[in-house]
Amino acid sequence: MTLLCAPVRDEAIQKLEAITDPVQLLRGIFRVLGLMKVDMVNYTIQSFRPYLQEHSIQYEQAKFQELLDKQPSLLDYTTKWLTKAATDITTPCPSSPESPSSSRSVACSLPNGAGNNSEPPSPTMVLYQGYLNLLLWDPENEEFPETLLMDRTRLQEMAFQLHQLTVLASVLLVARSFSGEILFSSSEFVDRLKCITKALTEEFISRPEETMLSVSEQVSQEIHQGLKDMGLTTLSSENTASLLGQLQNITKKENCIRSIVDQRIRLFLKCCLLHGMQESLLHFPGGLILIERELAELGWKFLNLMHHNQQVGQW
C-alpha cells in the first residue's frame, strides 16, 4: 500500500502500522484502500480529460456542420448577435453614465473600445463583448445565437448568479459603511451576513421590494447584535433608519452603488476572458473583496464555458 498509494495517503498508512488490534487494523486497511481506489479513479479521469474534451469538441463541430449543411441560414441570429457586439464597441461612448444593465457601459471601459482609436475592433474583442452581452439576454427573446443554444440554460444560470452577486455586494458595502471595519474584520460575521442575504435574495428578480425589505430588516438586526456582542456602540435610531433606506434603495437599477458594483463585476469577467483567471485575480476590483470567492467561482465557470464554445466554433 505504501508503494502504490498517493503521497497524500502516507500519513494514514503510517498510522496503520501503529495499530496492534487485528480487527481495527483490518478496518483501517479497508478504509485506506477505499480512499486509494477513489484516488486512482480521479487520476484516471484527470488523465483522460484532455482526450474527452477534444472528442466533445469534434463531435459538436460535426453535428453543427450537419445542421448547417441542411439549413444555410442557420447562423442568422449569430450574425445579429455579433453585429450588436461590434456596434457596442465601435459606437462613441456617452458622457453620462448608463444603466448598469447596459452592454455599452462595459464596452466603453475596455481596451480596443470606442473612443480609443479609429481602427476597427479585433474579431476576438467583438466575440468577447458578445459573450458578455449574453449575460444581459432577455429570457423571452427567442433570437438566441445558434452557436450557443446548447449552453443557453447554463448562461441563464450564470446571469442569475451575476445578478445575485451584484445585490449581495451592494448590501455588504452599505452594511460595512454603517457598521465599520471592526465588525467586518470578523470573517464569521461576514459569512453569516452573506449566507442570510443569499437566502433572502433568491426571489429578488420577481419581488425586489419585498425581498429588500426582508433583507434590510435582517441585516439591521445582525449589525445591531454584532456590535453589541463586540461591546461596541450600536446604531442610533437615525442611523438605523438611514441603513434601512439605503438597503431598500438597492432595488432601483439607477442606484449608484448597484451600478458601480454591476459594472465592476462585468469588467472582471471581461478581464478573465482577455488575460486569464490568474492575472485577473491579482488585480481584483476594489470594493468586491467581500465576494471574491463567489465571483472567482462564477469567473471560472464563465471562462471555461466560453473557451469551450470558442474552440467548438473555431472563432
pLDDT average, residue stretch 85-103: 67
Residues 163 and 32 in one domain: no
> Rounded to whole angstroms, how far apart are CA atoms 285 and 297?
15
Residue 17 has pLDDT above 70, yes or no: yes
Residues 274 and 277: their CA atoms lie apart, in Å, by: 9
In whole angstroms, give the CA distance from residue 269 to residue 292: 12
Tell whether the torsion through CA atoms of 301, 304, 310 and 311 is positive or negative.
Answer: negative
Residue 56 lies in a domain: no
Distance CA(129)–CA(180), nearest Å, equals 37
Residues 160 and 40 in one domain: no
At residue 60, the pLDDT reads 79
Q: What is the pLDDT of residue 124?
A: 87
188 lies in some domain: yes
Q: Which of 30, 49, 68 is the last residue of a domain?
A: 49
Mean pLDDT for 25-54 is: 89
What is the domain count for the chain?
2
What is the CB-side half-sphere exposure of residue 126 using CA atoms within 13 A? 17
**pTM for the whole thing?**
0.74
Check whether residue 306 and residue 160 sit in a common domain.
Answer: yes
Does residue 293 lie within any of the structural domains? yes
pLDDT tens for each residue of 62-90: 887 888 888 777 788 999 999 999 998 88
Q: How confident is the model at residue 94 (pLDDT cuts 50, 70, 90)?
A: low
Interval 18-38: pLDDT, tens: 999 999 999 999 999 999 999
In a domain, 61, yes or no: no
Whether 144 is covered by a domain: the verdict is: no
DSSP 71: -
For residue 314, name the pLDDT band (cuts at 50, 70, 90).
low
Of all residues in the chain, the percent with pLDDT exceeding 90 is 50
Residues of the domain holding 40 = 1-49
Nearest-5° Cα angle at 274, 270 to 275: 115
Q: Which three cell numbers stand for residue 172?
A: 455588504
CA pseudo-torsion sign 199, 205, 207, 213 = positive
